[in-house]
Structure 1
Amino acid sequence: MAIYEHLSDFAGLPVEDFSADAPPTGDPGATAWRIRTEYDGRPFEEIFRDFLDAVDTTRVSHLVIGFEGGFDDFGERTVDIPLLLAEHADRLPALRHLFVGDVVYEESEISWIEREDITPLVESFPRLETLEVRSGTLRMRPFASTALRRLRLESGGLPSEVVRAVGACDLPDLEHLDLWLGVEIYGGDTTVADLAPILSGERFPSLRHLGLEDAEIADEIAAAVAGAPIVARLESLSLALGALTDEGAEALLSGQPLTHLRRLDLHHHFLSDAMMQRVRQALPGVEVDLDEQMERRGDWIYVAVSE
């Protein structure tokens, strides 16, 4: 599966593309502004400066960064989005919700999206409540925030050092955490041991949703989740988009009770019909998403998003 559609809404607001050719009207705080360029279009930095000049950015609370362009003659990204936003943080004092990387397949495969260290985004916007990032390569350092409620990292191969950095963050009010772990061939070398600080329940005391998704090692994760202390206080759990088989589902059902959950998302999986029925019967009253029952290709099972 590739990502074919841009965001139409984000964090409760409709997404609108900024265009310097069509001066914005209305309340700038009522829109999630998307800033993007075309592959052979104007440099992203120019469009971003136009946005800062044309919109009352002191009222902008939602921002979506789309396609930012290609590479220079030396193969380097032409713009470092986290640093660019950090440099202009004073122009965006009301920013609370940020999505970086609203890029679809026609613009770039996810594995081609290169992202520098995203930590400056939180350091420069200390009142940020939502941070969602889509990328191939990705770097992050541990950070602290008393404002962040939602953190989502989408990658076809999330490096283990990023997962460990997440587990080392100080986020007392984080309620929603989604990690697309991906596959090893694209850098997704995370192990269950790397997830231990998150699964132990010692971090993130306010967490109510955990997504460990798009995982090549979905069966191993399911077995770890089955006994993870964090699960007891969750309202929803997602192991969707990954290579989950009957083995992983069996481990999940053999572990701690999951009947307290409101929702269990397992869509895109390799479960047999019999196992799907067992999961539903074991969790009465829980909304269970078992859509997208995939067929093995010989011995090959696969995640939803990798390259």
Structure 2
Amino acid sequence: MSINQHLDVFHDLPVRRFGPPSADHSEFTDHGSVAWNIHVDPYGDEEEEFTEAFARFERTVDLSQVSALIIGSWGEVYDNDSSEAVACVLAVKDRLTSLRALFVGDLVLEEAEISWIEQSDLTPLLEAFPDLEVFGARGGTRLVLRPVEHAALRSLLVETGGLPREVTQAVSDSSLPALERLELWIGQENYGCTTTTEHLAGLLSGARLPALHHLGLRNADDQDAVAAAVAAAPVVRQLKTLDLSMGALTDAGADALLAGQSLAHLSSLDLSYHYLSDAAVARVQAAMDEAGVAVDLSDQQEPYVYKDEEHRYSAVGE
């Protein structure tokens, strides 16, 4: 998933963008064969409020067939939060009987920087759809998640340029016995990140995540601290894949990871976008080759030097 392009496949279904009022869907009748993207363009030729677009969607599409739904732009997302879009979905929850996958905030850089996306409390969506298997959101500003019990959720993705500690803690405190994939973009303090490894402790214990086999703790300015915490985390023993990419990982973090518990049981380790020296890259590559683990060490970064000081940043902030 990339913040540079819209989702084109979601929940193994091709994405169909519902489009403006002039869009014609009359000849398309297999409403369950695609993932629907509902969005509005506040600067387009056909001005429309999100509530109006969603009302057209309700009238046009058999909601009982919809298994995957994407909420794109709900207008000027830096002035208006996602609560109105959330309310639209909740209002028809009894008709969305087949819904299994939901993503809120499919916006690309041309529409809004990730830190400009004003989210809201998304917890009611998880509470309203107990059969939901996949849930994702983009944007950490004003994002709220509260602890939930959800027996069906298999994949949870939260993409931010700055992850609030309350959201991280809520994930840690939730009961998600079926969760197989968890990915959190931690981000930068300048863009709202208040998450530390202390707030990750619950999920790193694995106690509430018995089915987890993929963990992504990505895009952290302090990726070294994340790597060190992961190196000793009980949850790692149950993983098949580990993703620590997009962060400001340095030799210290890589060495902490290598000095920690064995990673030989993993099928893959993603460290792409990093600040490792050539020597550290060679050490990690050799260790993973010996363990039989596929490792991604692509996109090596150079520190930004200002006034003789080196600065390193995660891939996504603003």
Give the residue type in structure 1 aligned to 2:285. R
Partner of 1:142: 147
The more displaced of 15-24 and 106-115 is 15-24
Partner of 1:56: 62
* CA RMSD of superposed structures (Å): 1.5
Q: Secondary structure at the match of 2:183?
A: strand
Correspondence for 1:236 among 241, 249, 261: 241
Q: Secondary structure at the match of 1:27?
A: coil
Matched, 1:35 2:42: no
Separation (CA, whole Å) in 2 of partners of 1:151 and 1:3: 17
**Matching of residues 191-270 of structure 1 within 5 Å:** 191-270=196-275
Q: Secondary structure at the match of 1:81?
A: helix
Separation (CA, whole Å) in 1 of partners of 2:284 and 2:82: 48
- Displacement, 1:187? 1.1
The runs of 5 or more residues in structure 2 that have no matched partner are none
The question of whether the paired residues in 2 share the 8 Å contact of 1:214 and 1:243 is answered with: yes
**Matching of residues 1-307 of structure 1 within 5 Å:** 3-19=3-19, 20=21, 21-24=23-26, 25-40=28-43, 41-70=47-76, 75-77=79-81, 80-137=84-141, 138-284=143-289, 285-298=292-305, 299-307=310-318
TM-score (norm 1): 0.96
Q: Secondary structure at the match of 1:288?
A: strand
Q: Secondary structure at the match of 1:131?
A: strand
Residues 231, 79 of structure 1: CA spacing in aligned structure 2 closer, same or farther, 3 A cutoff? closer
Separation (CA, whole Å) in 2 of partners of 1:300 and 1:151: 31
Give the residue type in structure 1 aligned to 2:124. P
The more displaced of 78-87 and 175-184 is 78-87
Separation (CA, whole Å) in 2 of partners of 1:107 and 1:175: 31
Give the residue type in structure 1 aligned to 2:65. R
- Write the deviation string for residues 270-291 of structure 1: whole angstroms up to 9, x where unpaired: 0111111111111122111111
Residues 82, 220 of structure 1: CA spacing in aligned structure 2 closer, same or farther, 3 A cutoff? same
Paired residues, what number? Answer: 304
Separation (CA, whole Å) in 1 of partners of 2:296 and 2:77: 40
Separation (CA, whole Å) in 1 of partners of 2:77 and 2:152: 34
The question of whether the paired residues in 1 share the 8 Å contact of 2:77 and 2:118 is answered with: no
The runs of 5 or more residues in structure 1 that have no matched partner are none
Q: Secondary structure at the match of 2:311?
A: coil
Give the residue type in structure 2 aligned to 1:243. A
Give the residue type in structure 1 aligned to 2:295. V
The question of whether the paired residues in 2 share the 8 Å contact of 1:67 and 1:102 is answered with: yes
Separation (CA, whole Å) in 2 of partners of 1:23 and 1:178: 34
The question of whether the paired residues in 2 share the 8 Å contact of 1:68 and 1:79 is answered with: no
Residues 252, 61 of structure 1: CA spacing in aligned structure 2 closer, same or farther, 3 A cutoff? same
Greater than 4 Å deviation, 4+ residue runs? none
The question of whether the paired residues in 2 share the 8 Å contact of 1:80 and 1:116 is answered with: no
- Write the deviation string for residues 128-152 of structure 1: whole angstroms up to 9, x where unpaired: 0000100131111000111100000
- Displacement, 1:71? 6.4
Separation (CA, whole Å) in 2 of partners of 1:227 and 1:181: 19
TM-score (norm 2): 0.92
% same residue: 48
Separation (CA, whole Å) in 1 of partners of 2:303 and 2:80: 38
- Displacement, 1:76? 4.4
- Displacement, 1:92? 1.0
The question of whether the paired residues in 1 share the 8 Å contact of 2:272 and 2:297 is answered with: yes
